[in-house]
Structure 1
């Protein structure tokens, strides 16, 4: 009876956390869109702004390298550009490098950015990248999802940390064009305060994941 609750917690965490992730002293990195759901119209051009939230890892080191991988349905969307932003400018001054790629045939967008030299890495919340999409002129009224998966993050010294990713769903509606434009410029481009617009559900879900992750560490330490 004594170990029933810890065992249940351990199984839940193992189910949620993929193999080969960081130890409990390293905090998961969260990659999320400014808006998880948006309504768009056929022919419209939109920006998907992606943010990173990370507390780094053991001994207060930050992340020094991050690769964002996105996939989308080519029937209704076309990626026109991807640009990295200011996340890795946080922390000790250093040079920041980036590589980006867009493949509209396979429906893939990649944004990679790193610090060199790493110094102490970067932590906190800021915009990581902006992906611009063009909605097909003849797109039907439907939902389409931009999926973020298999993204990777490394702390200083190339140590991998867990990345929680959140998708962006677009609802294509013939009557949506004028409604979108009203809210497009409420925050300045590149301002870290944009992160405040993320939904409460996103932050609660991410917090729950972190709590479970730390819970597993406590169970493992008790068994040593």
Structure 2
């Protein structure tokens, strides 16, 4: 099976990603002798893993950016017929048992979002998965205002987790970054700090970028 070498620079990665524009998922899967599933209901990560392989991502399942040597995270971005994101964007799992207050610059969320390669992919139920096409890639770094917003949301959410308030955090908290359940089903539970300092069982949580935030990123790029 073909193996793609890891890119040596962000510019090389962007060039590779832009070379995928216009290709269907079937076109890319064929290069690696892979079959395309009928849908993503049971294989949610398939699309992202395919693109990672095509671009030479090296992090695997490690808690770091997809391209750690060049400090770039890959995010496939499902888009509608108007070129706008159709859903919020997964960032990483949240630590619900922190032993100390985490600095923004030391967090995995920061590591994942300090530089992102966005790769749009058609997301239309009327188009079979195999025929969905790749759009034009965008290499993005948060500007000062965006970074401040992300940091503020992160600090507010992690402080509430540390105070044992994870059960009272809803998807409405945070303007750019939100905390939401992340589990295969409601039987999957993990430890978390409760309001009185005891250990409780709750659903795992993950950090997500709001759809409204990614829409603003895409529109800013287009302008």
> Which structure: larger Rg?
1
Compare relative contact order (CA 8 Å, sep 6+) and give the higher one, 1 or 2: 1
TM-score by length of 1: 0.28
TM-score (structure 2 length as normaliser): 0.28
